[in-house]
Structure 1
Amino acid sequence: MKIQGLFKFERIVLLSFIIVLLSSCSGFEKVLKSKDYEYKYKMALEYYKKKDHYRYVTLLEQLQNVYKGTFRADTIDFYLAQGYFHQGDYLLAGHQFDMFRKNYQRSVFTEEAEFMYAYCYYMSSPRPELDQTNTLAAIEAFTEFINRYPNTSRKAEVNKIMVELRDKLVEKSYLSAMLYYKIGDYKAAIVAIRNSIRDYPESKHREELMFHLLKASYLLADNSIESKRRERFQNALDEYYSFISEYPSSKYSSEAKKMYDATMKVLQNLN
């Protein structure tokens, strides 16, 4: 009897849930079909407060052209952009925030739209292994935001994001340079590593990159045809001096010294 009572109770709860859900859906359908735009606008704001992104976006999309050019237009356009953002469509949201900041330069939402335009690029920034176009766009947009709003309350947040974005570029540069080294393309590795060190002199990978610049130079020389060996081993020697002068106590010192000794031996024989 107790088990039957429990099943009966669960059926009642499930039925109640279905009734509430259906009535809720039915209520929203009525709002959608309504020709009372003021009512629709009011309900859109209610759904917005409840963070029911799908419903308020759906309603605002219907109202966007209706209220275009009125005092409500900026609210509708801004909330629409936010809705797209919260639904995870950062591309569309970014476009909407961009249009908003250009169309409503005096709106109370303009500063937030400027921030969110940059933030959409930030959210679209992929992991370091992938193309970093959106990362660069985010940095540019946040720089523009700070220049336009130097006293913004979001300054600390933006600075934190900028550090994260720059770190991602550093990592991308490091991974790309090391990829050439790992596949044995030492000539390309030398160029890529030098570029990485030049572009990001404060990189946390600097010591490792400088060592692999030395090693790539040495391996390129060691695998060169006779006519190029002298010049390339001399370049490797130069890289050794640069590395050891900056990192005299490096964990790579022992291996670097072996390459130095081998390089000196080759150069002596060539001389």
Structure 2
Amino acid sequence: MIKTWLVAMALLILMTGCGSKEVEEYNKPAEYWYEKMVTSVSNGNLEKADSYFSSLQSEHIGSPFLAEATMIMAQAHMAHDEYLLAEHFLDEYIRRYATPEGREFAEFLKVKAKFLALPNPGRDQGLIDETLKGVDTFKMNYPYSIYISQVNTMETQLQLARGVLDEQIAQLYERLDKPKGALYYRSMAPVTWIKPDEVVNANIPWYREMFEGDGSSSWYDFMIPKTRSVISMEDNESK
């Protein structure tokens, strides 16, 4: 009796284990993979959605579902703040499937993805410049785009961010007694329509301000050497 019971338990565990293990799927119609992908996106499971998209792409390379599926994945990753993956899908869409109208929309989304990837612009000067180049390219290619007002708004915010960042760097050089460095960054006025004295800096949360300062001074000021460096002396001597 005990032996029979143990065998039954072993079979039950084995069957439960097999049932819980996900069955590998392959060789399905394009509609199947597309529906699975859309359902996973709706449920917020982008890892699963990426997997289903890969199956759709690999098994049905010529499927008419691929263009729409690629754009869905791009926008889904953007909605989840995964901007690099969003750009990857947008590049794929532009390269393989985009019509002229679809290309314009995709290029706009690429600019928007780069812009949204800058929650703290003061930390990434390179990405600001890269995004502004994307803005210039978009405006040159699509001067009458229906998205131009949104692109202009993003450009204004980026130019303001770059101007504030340049001024903060200039102030840092002044505190280090390096006037040439300060002069260089103050000469890099982003655009003529921005007046530095009219720019209001963004409010920095207290927990960031403790470490980053407000641009004019920082909590670690006392750690900066008061003696002039060789570079600082050269700057002053050459004036």
Cα deviation, 1:135-192, whole Å, max 9, x if unaligned, reads: 2222222332233333332222111111111111111111111110122223432333
1:107, distance to aligned residue in structure 2 (A): 6.7
Unpaired segments of 5 or more residues in structure 1? 1-25, 209-222, 233-271
Question: Is 1:189–2:173 an aligned residue pair?
Answer: no
> Structure 1 residues 51 and 107 mapped into 2: Cα distance closer, same or farther (>3 Å)?
farther
Structure 1 contact 128–171 (Cα < 8 Å) conserved: no
Match of 2:58 among 49, 61, 65: 65
Question: Is 1:36–2:23 an aligned residue pair?
Answer: no
Aligned to 1:45: 38
Q: Is the partner of 1:65 in helix, strand or coil?
A: helix
Match of 2:80 among 66, 84, 87: 87
TM-score normalised by length of structure 1:
0.56
Distance 1:83 1:105 in 2: 18
Deviates more, 1:33-42 or 1:115-124: 33-42
> Structure 1 residues 132 and 191 mapped into 2: Cα distance closer, same or farther (>3 Å)?
closer
Higher relative contact order (CA 8 A, sep 6+): 2
Question: Is 1:75–2:68 an aligned residue pair?
Answer: yes
Q: Percent identity over the alignment? A: 20
Distance 1:176 1:56 in 2: 43
Unpaired segments of 5 or more residues in structure 2? 1-18, 200-231
> Structure 1 residues 200 and 175 mapped into 2: Cα distance closer, same or farther (>3 Å)?
farther
TM-score normalised by length of structure 2:
0.63
> Structure 1 residues 201 and 141 mapped into 2: Cα distance closer, same or farther (>3 Å)?
closer
Question: Is 1:122–2:126 an aligned residue pair?
Answer: no
Aligned to 2:135: 142
* Structure number, greater radius of gyration: 1
**Paired AA for residue 111 in structure 1:** E
**Paired AA for residue 166 in structure 1:** Q
Cα deviation, 1:188-223, whole Å, max 9, x if unaligned, reads: 323333x235x5444442599xxxxxxxxxxxxxx9
Q: Is the partner of 1:36 in helix, strand or coil?
A: coil
- Give the aligned length: 185
Map 1:1-20 to 2 at 5 A: none
Structure 2 contact 26–55 (Cα < 8 Å) conserved: no
**Paired AA for residue 40 in structure 1:** W
Aligned to 2:196: 205
CA RMSD after TM alignment: 3.4
Which structure dedicates a bigger proportion of its chain to helix?
1
